[in-house]
Structure 1
Amino acid sequence: MRLAVSWWRLILRVSCWSGLLVGGWVLALLLLQVLFGRQLERVQTVQLGRELALNVRLTELTLERYPPVLINELTGLQLAVMERPPRAGPVDAGLHRRMQGLQNELCTRLSHCPTLLPAQGSSRQQGVWIELISPLEPVWLRVELPTARGWPPEPMLLVVALVAAVIFTGVLYLLLEVERPLRGLERALSRVGEGSDPATVPVSGAPEVQRITRRFNAMVQRLATNRRERATMLAGIAHDLRAPITRLRFRLSLPRLGADERQRCTSDLEALERITGQFLLYAGGGERERMVACPLDQWLAEVAAGHPQEQLRLDLLPITADVRPVALGRAVSNLIDNALTYGRPPLVVRLLDRDPGFCIEVWDQGDGIPPEQWDRAQQPFQRLDEARGEQGHCGLGLAIVGHVVTQHGGRIRFRQAASGSEPGHFAVVLEIPATEANGRPGSGTDRKSRSEIRS
């Protein structure tokens, strides 16, 4: 059944485009006849004038020795002896124009300018009488004028009209069947590149474009399935880990454990909770969160409020922009945790204006990450120090930060202090540009640096 429907659609499409080609051919032929009919008529008149000039000269020479009747029988020319041809009906503008053109040609090619009068005839075949120079009696030569061909048209016009119709149909086919579906496919690809799951693209256009569209739709479905499976897998891992964490915490509440054992169990629980939180954050990624207008200085102060106050200093400018506050807040919190774990306090969190956009810097006093390992540090499940896995780290921290920043159209980079003017020795910088959604960050009237030392 589906094959039959496909065949019917193909036959319908071929019929439509064939009809369009034929219609374009006929329309182009009519236009060419309108545009070039006068030129063709003039060419015919010139050719007829050349032939008539020769016949008129020969006939006038022959009339000096032979009568018109004999010449008529021998040559087939329509000669008539009369003072003046009978009056014809009304002369239209087309016939008058062609008679005038023919007379001009004869006057140019002959030694004298003959008189031309319209001849009676059918509506389809028009003729003229040409007065000849005869020594004995007045003789007139009747000549049929070739009419402009209505149908079939001139072969040259047929070919030119066919070429024009093929070009027009081909351009229209490319626009409707190739360019428009490809443009829709391009928009869908841009949405895939932005990290969202676009809807399937309607299969339309040329057969080649339809095959590409079907493969793209299959790819989108596979990506969406893989993303759902990844989220389900990571959420399932996190869910399975929470049950033993809850049981361990319950057992830790019992008074039978010693202080050292209780401390070790507490450390293991914190490591498990950190791993679970990182898995959940990596599974979510923040794609579903909407962009909202947020005062970034107040928001960063709230994010930093959950960390040790005596080890953290804020240096914030009052900036307002559209962000995903939950996802970006988790990313900044991850950076602060990493700096507290592997760097040395005090930490400095800076919010700076980078027109257009803003950047967030997290400085610490440690040695930081060697430059040759910066790219590796941003890969998921990569631990630069294998001993970190024992502290509840699974190598997702910077990968999560990079993923969130990418969703904001920004990038993550690392800085090492080049002089003593910097607030620390090593920094992770989140550069987020101002987009159409972000607008212009902050106003210039309230740009004083606001520092807060937590003690």
Structure 2
Amino acid sequence: MASWIGMISAVQRGPQVEQTADLVISVVTITKAALTHSAPELRRELLFELVSNEGIRIFTLESSDAVDPPPDSALMPEIEAIIKSKLGADTRFSSRVNGTAGFWISFKIDDDGYWLMLERERLEGLTGVQWLGWATVVGALSVVGAALISSLVNLPLARLTAAARAIAQGKKPDRLPEKGSKEIIEANRSFNQMVEDLQQVESDRAVILAGISHDLRTPLARMQLELEMAKLSNEAREGMQSDIGQMDAIIGQFLDYAKPTEAATFVPIDISELLQDTAREAERMLDIHVSTHIEEGVHVMGNATDLRRVFNNLVENARRYGKTQGSDFTELDISCRIKPHGLGKRVVIEVQDHGQGVPDDHIELLLKPFTRMDSARGQANGAGLGLAIVERVVLRHNAELQVSNREGGGLRIALVMPLAS
């Protein structure tokens, strides 16, 4: 805007000076010629015509006239110089004569002096209101142009953000177009290559895990069979069977952690019924007591198998680590309610035990793979992937996992999920 105003001012100055000077010179010359060559009896009618149609007034120049200085304008010195060079060096200028405002200029016919007065508006350039109007128009066009350029810049970034969010949710994003500026092309090309590499990694991992499942579980089954046939004491047999069972469970955890959750498999699920089934299965264990507060008929979008695995992991985590203090039993509370959340509603699922809990500064460590808080929650076996599996599945269901200590002791794990539409 400042550059535009400066440019207009610089470009306008010369033509405006010349135009104004030419106008004054033409008016004075034509008026002087008309008065000189008109018949004396017609001069009054001529003067009336000039005032009525052209806004030009002619007065006799008197020595007693009260004459003010010429208009205070940055262009006035240049205008005066051009006019004086054409009409004579004795030409006078004034902004007010005898109290009447206007653009006054003197001229002579023979030895008689006269004042010619023009209306000030005919000689003024752009007014403040006109400048404001033009500035508003240019400002509006600048904003429109900036918005257009911004949209062209932000659109590729919006696509990149949406694709990155899709990857975070376990979805396969559409390939980004490799066009635009050099930086956008490089970013999109790198992102597309990253997506292809991730897919290849997922494929390789699936092959490796299938090999692990076959190559490790087959020898474990053979060891289990040989163990049953071996002549061992009951204590030794039970110990070895426990070790083999733990190895098989750890292999299962690795497979569960690495298994992808495809959003394409999501369907409406009665989460209330699924939680009731989980609670009934948990009650069959001899060392756990479950109390439920589950709202009926709550539906979410998801994969039933993966969500069942999540709830089983939470129950098993509580059974192993959440023993009530001074007891060999685990008291477990399972609840499911619909609560207001932001501008809408969400399903809040809570699984709480009555154990010792964990130190507040160690809660984040629970979600890291291969981490167990044995020092805080008692010794237990496993690979430390239970809550990591839970978080992985929850995030791919576009849900939120909250881990905190329960009031009164124990661990509280909450899942905040969107309702099925």
TM-score, L = length of structure 1: 0.56
Query: Amino acid of the residue matched to residue 414 of structure 1?
Result: S
**Corresponding residue to 2:223 among 245, 248, 265:** 248
Is 1:321 aligned to 2:299, yes or no? yes
Cα deviation digits, residues 206-234 of structure 1 (max 9, x gap): 22322222233233333334444444444
- Contact kept, 8 Å, 1:178 with 1:206, in 2: the verdict is no
- The amino acid across from 1:405 in the alignment is V
1:411 to 401, 404, 408: 401
Structure 1 residue aligned with 2:170: 195
Q: Residue 330 of structure 1: which of 306, 309, 312 is its match? A: 309
Question: CA offset at residue 392 of structure 1?
Answer: 4.7
Alignment of 1:34-53 (within 5 A): 50-53=24-27
Distance 1:313 1:387, change over 3 A: closer
Distance 1:233 1:389, change over 3 A: farther
Aligned match of 2:33: 59
Q: In structure 2, how many angstroms separate the alpha carbons of the residues matched to 1:429 and 1:390?
A: 20
Aligned residues between the structures: 304
Report the equivalent of 2:368.
379
1:23-81 per-residue CA deviation (whole Å, 9 max, x = no partner) reads xxxxxxxxxxxxxxxxxxxx9998876443222234346658xxxxxxxxxxxxxxxxx
Mark the CA change 1:375 to 1:207 in structure 2 (over 3 Å): closer, same or farther: same
Q: How does 1:397-408 map to 2 (within 5 A)?
A: 397-408=386-397
Residues 227-264 of structure 1: per-residue CA shift (max 9 Å, x gap) = 44444444443333212112112223426444333212
Identity percentage of aligned residues: 27
CA distance in 2, matches of 1:104, 1:426: 100
Q: Could you tell me whether the CA contact under 8 Å between 1:290 and 1:324 is conserved in 2?
A: yes
Please list, as runs of the form range in 1=range in 2, the aligned pairs for 1:296-375 lying within 5 A after superposition: 296-307=271-282, 308-310=284-286, 311-317=288-294, 318-322=296-300, 323-344=302-323, 345-355=329-339, 356-375=345-364
How far apart are the structure 1 equivalents of 2:220 and 2:379?
A: 16
Contact 2:358 2:376 in 1 (8 A): no
Distance 1:231 1:365 in 2: 38
Q: Distance in 1 between matches of 2:224 and 2:50?
A: 118
Q: Which residue of 2 aligns with 1:429?
A: 413
Cα distance, 1:299–1:326 mapped onto 2, change above 3 Å: same
The 1:277/1:208 distance shift into structure 2, 3 A limit, reads: same
Distance 1:365 1:417 in 2: 9
Distance 1:49 1:371, change over 3 A: closer
Give, in whole Å, the separation in 2 of the partners of 1:299 and 1:54.
101
On the 8 A contact 2:403/2:412 being kept in 1, the answer is yes
SS for the counterpart of 2:415 is strand
The CA RMSD measured in Å over matched residues stands at 4.0
Give distance in 2, aligned partners of 1:235 and 1:103.
105
Cα offset, 1:279, TM superposition: 0.6
- Structure-2 separation of matches of 1:207 and 1:303: 54
Contact persistence 1:50–1:109 (CA under 8 A): no
Higher relative contact order (CA 8 A, sep 6+): 1
Q: TM-score, normalised by structure 2?
A: 0.60
Contact 2:367 2:388 in 1 (8 A): yes
How far apart are residue 397 of structure 1 and its match?
A: 0.9
Paired AA for residue 373 in structure 2: L
1:109 aligns with 2:66: no
Secondary structure, aligned partner of 1:433: strand
Are the counterparts in 1 of residues 320 and 380 from structure 2 also a CA contact under 8 Å? no
| CA distance 1:357–1:319, change in 2 (3 Å) | farther
Deviates more, 1:197-206 or 1:358-367: 358-367
Judging changes above 3 Å, is the alpha-carbon distance between structure 1 residues 239 and 372 closer, same or farther for their aligned structure 2 residues?
farther
Shift of 1:428: 3.1
Q: Matches of 1:387 and 1:262 in 2, distance apart?
A: 31
Give distance in 1, aligned partners of 2:145 and 2:184. 16
8 A Cα contact 1:380 1:399, kept in partner: yes
- Shift, 1:173, TM fit: 6.3
The change in CA–CA distance for 1:108 and 1:304 in structure 2 (over 3 A counts) is closer
Give the Å deviation of 1:299: 1.2
CA contact (8 A) 2:310 2:389 kept: yes
Query: What code does the residue aligned with 2:310 have?
Result: A
- Residue 202 of structure 1 and its aligned partner are, at CA, apart by 0.7
In structure 2, list runs of 5 or more residues that go unmatched: 1-16, 39-48, 60-134, 324-328, 340-344
Instruction: Measure how far apart 1:107 and its partner are.
Output: 3.5
Question: 1:262 aligned to 2:269?
Answer: no
Once the two structures are superposed, residues 120-156 of structure 1 have per-residue CA deviations (whole angstroms, 9 ceiling, x without a partner) of: xxxxxxxxxxxxxxxxxxxxxxxxxxxxxxxxxxxxx
1:218 is aligned to 2:193: yes
Aligned to 2:257: 282
| Change beyond 3 A, Cα 1:184–1:366 | closer
1:84-233 correspondence to structure 2 within 5 Å = 107-109=54-56, 111=58, 171=146, 174=149, 177-233=152-208
Q: 2-side partners of 1:57 and 1:188: how far apart?
A: 78
Compared CA separation, residues 167 and 364, structure 1 to 2 (3 A): closer
- Measured at CA, do residues 47 and 296 of structure 1 come closer, stay the same or move farther in structure 2, by a change above 3 Å? same
Structure 2 Cα separation of the partners of residues 265 and 301 of structure 1 = 35
Instruction: State the one-letter code of the partner of 1:338.
Output: N
Instruction: Give the Cα–Cα distance (whole angstroms) in 2 for the partners of residues 417 and 109 of structure 1.
Output: 95
8 A Cα contact 2:337 2:349, kept in partner? no
Q: Give the Cα separation in 1 of the matches to 2:151 and 2:160.
A: 14
Aligned partners of 1:52 and 1:106 also within 8 Å: no
Shift of 1:294: 2.4
